[in-house]
Amino acid sequence: MDRVSLSVGSGGKLMRDFVKEVIVETLGNPYLEQFGDSAHVNLSGDLCFTTDSFVVRPIFFPGGDIGKLAVSGTINDLVVAGARPLFLSLSLIIEEGFFVHDLKNILSSVRATSSSADVLVVTGDTKVVPKGDADQLYINTAGIGQKLVEPGNIREGDVLIVTDCVGDHSVAIMVARGEFDFWGDVQSDCRPLHSLLPLWDMGVKWMRDITRGGLATVLCELAEEKHIPVEVWERDVPFSPAVNALAEILGIDSFYLASEGSAVLVAPQDKTDEIIAFLHGIPEGRHASVIGRIGGKGKPGEVVLETASGGLRYLEPLTGELLPRIC
């Protein structure tokens, strides 16, 4: 069988064989091999529980694929909530006719990504829908993690740190789609951020991955939720040359471009050096930088940007789509 057929989704032996040979074999772990209706896991204490759905076009892109994206995204939601990710669920909605070898490749990256973070996919489901009813492959996940810390109180003078460059995922996807005819060697930063977990022991008070809506939107949520003023220094925000280039050419504000492997955090000022040194020592934190602080010139709930040329402006949450401008 080289393509997924509708009959695979109809239950019965064909489906069981497919799940066994394609999915379980690729993901391979003792929980899945039991073929139970639900996974039995042994946990206690404070837990975090998250779910997410993944729809991306193209499903293979430079730096990753929908499988890596799904596992990373779920892991990262737990990490930034202060939890050690442990178990995942994985549901596939497959369009009839999808190539089996593509599916195997995607599941291999699910396995590679989850095992790199010591996380197990313990349960899952597969549905096949008629051609045209879905776009190739959708993935839904849930994740369970052990809560490690209760985040501390944010106060004026705390520093804002981004763990790495911002916006690479958006740009890689735009280029991979061939949108507006750009091309170039640009990789998505899609990756699991479990290596950031030790930061919680260094006094980090708040963390968020910089996904849809970009840095601006995430910081606006911080300012609004905690009712605090936030100040950001444009000069210190790390953007890769490709992100800067595409943003400039298309007239898009790079503060709204998404990452899938970078986070922003709040920490006490006296921990800055320790945190930055730690981040610079791991691959996920090579371009870590202090980009601002809590307080400054705005009112509570506002994010004020000190621009590279020394002026001030507000950052607002993303509204609408990011479209290229000619003006």
Partner 1 sequence: MEFSLLRQKKSVELLLQKVDSLLESIGREVRIMEVCGTHTMTAYRSGLGHVLRKKGVRLISGPGCPVCITPEGVLLAAAKVVEEMENTILVSFGDMLRVPVDGKSLLTLVPAQNSSVKVIYAPEEALKTAELNPDRRVVFLATGFETTIPSIAWVVLEAQRKNMKNLFFITSLRLVPPPLRAILCSGDVNLDGFIYPGHVSVIIGSRPYEFIPEEFGVPGAVAGFEPVDLLLGVISVLQQICAGEAKVDIVYTRAVQPEGNPAARKIMDTAFECADAEWRGFGVIPRSGLVLRNKVLDASREFGLELSSRKAHEACRCGDVVKGSIEPEECPLFARTCAPESPQGPCMVSVEGSCLIHYKYGSVRWTGSA
Partner 2 sequence: MCLAVPLKLVEIEGYEGIVEMGGIKRRVNLSLVENPQRGDFVLVHAGFAIAVINREEAEKTLSLIREMEQHS
Binder among 16, 131, 235, 286 for partner 1 (CB under 8 A)? 235
Token code pair at residue 147 = 């809560």
Tell me the CA distances in angstroms from 120 to 44, 79, 83, one per residue in order: 17, 15, 15
135 φ/ψ angles, rounded to the nearest 5 degrees: -100, 90
311 binds, among partner 2, partner 1, none (CB under 5 to 8 A by kind): partner 1
Cβ proximity to partner 1, 48 vs 220, nearer residue = 220
- Total site size for partner 1, rule CB under 8 A: 29
**How many CB atoms within 10 Å of residue 241?**
10
Residue with tokens 């996919």: 121
Token code pair at residue 196 = 């950031």
Q: Does 323 bind partner 1 (CB under 8 A)?
A: yes
In the complex, the smallest distance separating the C-beta of residue 178 from partner 2, rounded to whole angstroms, is 11
Binding site for partner 2 (CB under 8 A): 171, 175, 180-186, 240-246, 248-249, 251, 325-327
Token code pair at residue 291 = 């980009």
Across the strands, what pairs with 92? 126, 139
**How many CB atoms within 10 Å of residue 244?**
13
Per CB under 8 A, which region of 53-61, 111-119, 152-160, 317-325 contacts partner 1? 317-325
Q: Does 309 bind partner 1 (CB under 8 A)?
A: yes
CA distance 207 to 158: 13
Residue-wise DSSP of 212-237: TTHHHHHHHHHHHHTT--EEEEGGGS
Cβ proximity to partner 2, 50 vs 187, nearer residue = 187
Q: Does 132 bind partner 1 (CB under 8 A)?
A: no
Q: Does 180 bind partner 1 (CB under 8 A)?
A: yes
Per CB under 8 A, which region of 61-69, 89-97, 107-115, 294-302 contacts partner 1? 294-302
320 binds, among partner 2, partner 1, none (CB under 5 to 8 A by kind): partner 1
Cβ proximity to partner 2, 182 vs 278, nearer residue = 182
CA distance 315 to 323: 18
**71 contacts 192 by C-beta, under 8 angstroms:** yes
Q: Which residues bind partner 1 (CB under 8 A)?
A: 180-181, 235, 250, 253, 296-299, 304-314, 316, 319-321, 323-327
